[in-house]
């Protein structure tokens, strides 16, 4: 089986410091893969390497095309969306302007459906419709995360990289966020690579999970298996074996 995203021997770093060491990874069509790992394990760098915002070596193939050396802007236009850590909303622009900027990377064939998609997005996130004339900077953390997701969806991506969506959100809000992800996957036929520290919540929506430590994949397994492996979580995710630090639902 060939996946939508095929990564082999990926290396990446900043300046002289290498952060990712020869990493292999596959994401299949319509699959949600959780990337787990402690702070500094390399989750964000992995996502940045894939979206071209960090220089990377090794092989990245997306939908059958090699992405190495392609500019971030071009990668975005090839159907790979990236919701960065901290959301990256344009705070001075209105909510609707933010969402509309997503259209830029849309495949030309789907341009005509942009307005329909905007309605669908507003139906999924009604709060964004209410606030559409407000500056994005006025939104709460959870609303900004929705906005970032909505903006990425407007590009009609085939694969969405999402970096720590639960960061800084209240437990209830972040639980909402994860259930929305499962829904979006169905409605938009998305694949998702989800980097998260919150292993419990993300493994609930993911099909598979990989665990990173010091820039290497140390475990890869179906989500249910990973979720059940308390020893692994204790070793790499900084959870106590009884799982008390995970967000309980």
Q: Residue 129 interacts with other proteins (CB under 8 A)?
A: no
* Residues 6+ positions from 2 with CB-CB distance below 8 Å: 64
Q: Residue 100 interacts with other proteins (CB under 8 A)?
A: yes
**Binding segment (CB under 8 A) for other proteins, from list 22-30, 72-80, 111-119, 139-147:** 72-80
Q: Are the C-beta atoms of 209 and 175 separated by less than 8 Å?
A: no
Cβ of residue 169: shortest distance to other proteins, in angstroms? Answer: 18
Q: Residue 122 interacts with other proteins (CB under 8 A)?
A: no
Query: Inter-axis angle of helices 114-124 and 171-188, to 10 degrees?
Result: 150
Segment 24 to 63, residues that bind other proteins, using CB under 8 A: 39-45, 51, 53-54
Nearer to other proteins, 111 or 183 (CB): 111
Q: Are the C-beta atoms of 12 and 6 separated by less than 8 Å?
A: no
Q: Are the C-beta atoms of 206 and 194 separated by less than 8 Å?
A: yes
Quick one: tokens of 237? 């995710």
Q: Residue 74 interacts with other proteins (CB under 8 A)?
A: yes
Pairwise CA distance, residues 165 & 106, whole Å: 23
Question: Which of 92, 108, 112, 244 forms a contact with other proteins (CB under 8 A)?
Answer: 92
Nearer to other proteins, 45 or 204 (CB): 45
């Amino acid at each position: 089986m060939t996946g939508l995203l095929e990564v082999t021997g990926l290396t990446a770093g900043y300046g002289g410091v290498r952060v990712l060491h020869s990493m292999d990874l596959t994401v299949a069509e319509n699959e949600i893969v959780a990337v787990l790992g402690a702070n500094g394990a390399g989750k964000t760098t992995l996502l940045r390497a894939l979206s071209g915002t960090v220089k990377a070596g090794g092989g990245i193939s997306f939908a059958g095309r090699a992405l190495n050396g392609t500019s971030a802007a071009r990668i975005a236009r090839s159907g790979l969306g990236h919701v960065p850590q901290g959301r990256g909303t344009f705070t001075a622009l209105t909510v609707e302007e933010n969402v509309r900027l997503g259209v830029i990377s849309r495949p030309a064939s789907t341009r005509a459906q942009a307005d329909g998609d905007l309605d669908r997005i507003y139906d999924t996130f009604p709060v964004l419709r209410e606030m559409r004339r407000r500056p994005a900077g006025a939104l709460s953390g959870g609303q900004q995360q929705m906005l970032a997701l909505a903006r990425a969806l407007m590009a009609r991506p085939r694969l969405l990289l999402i970096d720590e969506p639960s960061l800084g959100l209240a437990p209830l809000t972040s639980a909402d966020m994860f259930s929305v992800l499962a829904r979006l996957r169905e409605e938009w036929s998305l694949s998702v690579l989800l980097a998260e520290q919150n292993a419990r919540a993300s493994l609930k929506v993911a099909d598979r999970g990989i665990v990173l430590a010091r820039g290497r994949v140390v475990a890869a397994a179906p989500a249910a298996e990973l979720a059940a492996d308390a020893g692994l979580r204790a070793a790499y995710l900084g959870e106590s074996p009884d799982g008390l630090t995970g967000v309980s639902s």
